[in-house]
Every structure is written in structure tokens, then in C-alpha cells.
Structure 1
Amino acid sequence: MRTPQVVVVMGVAGTGKTTIGPLLAARLGVPYAEGDDFHPEANIAKMSAGTPLDDADRGPWLDAIGTWAHDRAGLGGVVSCSALKRAYRDRLRAAAPGVVFVHLAGDRALIEDRMSHRQGHFMPTALLDSQFATLQPLEADEAGVTVDVAGAPEEIAERAVAALREFDPASS
């Protein structure tokens, strides 16, 4: 497998993007960027208050991630970003053609349990339903793979690497 320009680790809150992203980046030998770090303070305050973001809120955030991905062209990188809607992923692809998505997906009960045990994160478990309602899984014509989040982080990262190795960008 050649390292894609940029891998975007996507999925609803609680799937492990922040945990799996750095593990995947280490295995691919590229830098990692935490998508939450690209949020404007207003977005963090809104989510912390239990209010879901709307498309207008997400625009500047997606553009900042897209700029990072664009700047990594030819160098590679891994960035976490929920990228829940096709339109969001299209916006990222417009900024950085060639990005590949790793959709972390799993059972809602497992994800809710993981969210309820994490500490120090601004996203409350109460917003999980809005995340699932917004989620549009990867479509057949999108460059990416879906990886189940059951198991230990190291196992999930290994499944992601294996899925990326089998991924044929020409088929998307």
C-alpha cells in the first residue's frame, strides 16, 4: 500500500477517532492531527452546552481541516474528523483531492458506553443521537473503508491498516 496523501478517520462521537488516529498515523509513518483542535471556540462552547452543531458551524472547521490536508499533499498524514455527511466529505475532498476516509463504525450501545467512560471531552453523551441522525455512511463511489470499532484500540488500528492495504483507489 502506498500511503495516501491524507487519511481522514471519521465517525460519530465515541468511535475512537482520537485514539485510533494516532495509532494509525504511527503505523503509516505520518503525522497525526486532532480534528477537535481545529474547532473554533464557539463550536466547543456550543457542544459543551449540549447543542449540536449545524452546517454553518461546521463550515469553518471543515475548511481548516481541508487546509491542513491540502498542505500535507504528497507528504501524507492522518486527521480525525467526524465527516458525518457526504457534503462534508465532498468539501474535504475539494480542498484536498486524494484524501481517503477510514469510517470507524460500530454498535450504538458500545459507542455510548465508551462515551460515558471518557473524561475531559466536551462532547456529551446526550449528543450521540444527533450524531447518528446526521451520519451518512461512506458511499460506494467514495474513497474509503469502514472499520468495526469492537475490540482493543491496537486491533482496530490493525484492521484499519489492513483495510487500507486492500483498498483500491481506482475503484472509487
Structure 2
Amino acid sequence: MQIAFLVAPEGVEQVELTDPWQAVTDNGDTPVLVSTAPGEIQAFNHLDKADTFPVDRTVADASVEEFGALVLPGGVANPDFLRMDEKAVAFVRGFVEAGKPVASICHGPWTLVEAGVVRGRTLTSWPSLRTDIRNAGGEWVDEQVKVCEGGPSTFITSRKPDDLKAFCEAFTAEFAKASGG
């Protein structure tokens, strides 16, 4: 199964991209880096530039139908850039409307808020997003990982890089269930 990793051209927290990417690969699935622009994305270690990664597909050239699930890594700037891009927001909304699972960590749920898909859902995130999630009609909890099956698609969310092990275990299990595995 192909798994979309949606990131902006810069600002993604590197470990929140690379650890889930490795978990998807280890699970036998194919990660695909989708961004709002072609070329490479610039990852960060908090506020310092880290590595660059090649974009596999732009959001304009990608379709929800070709993927089984979506991962939204964090980083402060990454989701802020994504939520300002109408095609990226529509791409995220498309996964939810199609009933496909969405995994998001740290600041990643900002894009879910912008897509208008958190009403009635329970999520966790970096603590500074709790008011945004509540204002969008969602419930925010302070948990290592939260799996919410209460809507058309399952949301798997985590708070921060320290939660990556639990996050990766939870979302790979949910992705396997969604693919019938």
C-alpha cells in the first residue's frame, strides 16, 4: 500500500518524517513524499536546518485514490505552510471524506483543523494546539497517542518526538487494519 506523507517545502521536523517513514517501510508499505512544490523539501531539527529530501509527487499531481493512508508530520512551520495551501487542505480533507486513516504528530493537526475535519473528534498534539482543536469542535487530550475512530476516517495523533515509538506502532496497526492486513 502507498502511504502519502504530506509536507511543505520547508519546516518539517526531520525525526517526525524519518521515523514514521521507516515504520511504513518496515511494515512493507511504500511511503511517498508529497509536497506543495516539486524538488526537495528542507527538514529541520527544531529551528536548525537538517537534511533535504526529494519530493516524489506534488499535491497538484497526487490523488487520494492512489494512497491507502496519510501521515502529517509536524514541525512548527510545516503545517502552518500547508494550511495556507488550498490544494494541500483539500488533499487532507479528501482522505477523511474517503474514510482513509490519517496519522498526525505534534503541530501536524493544524492542517486537520484547517481542513474542517476535527469537529466531534478526539485528538492529541503539541499542547499549543489545544485551543485551536477545541475551537474547531474537537476534544484535545494530553496522551502519548490517541486513536479516534469516531468519524469517517480513523485519526491517530501524538504530541511530540518523544512519543514517536508509540505513534508509529499505533498508526502502522491502524493502517494494516484499513488495508485488510
Instruction: Return the TM-score normalized by structure 1.
Output: 0.43
- Higher RCO (C-alpha 8 Å, min separation 6): 1
When you count strand as a share of all residues, which structure comes out higher? 2
TM-score by length of 2: 0.41
The structure with the greater share of residues assigned to helix is 1
* Structure of greater Rg: 1
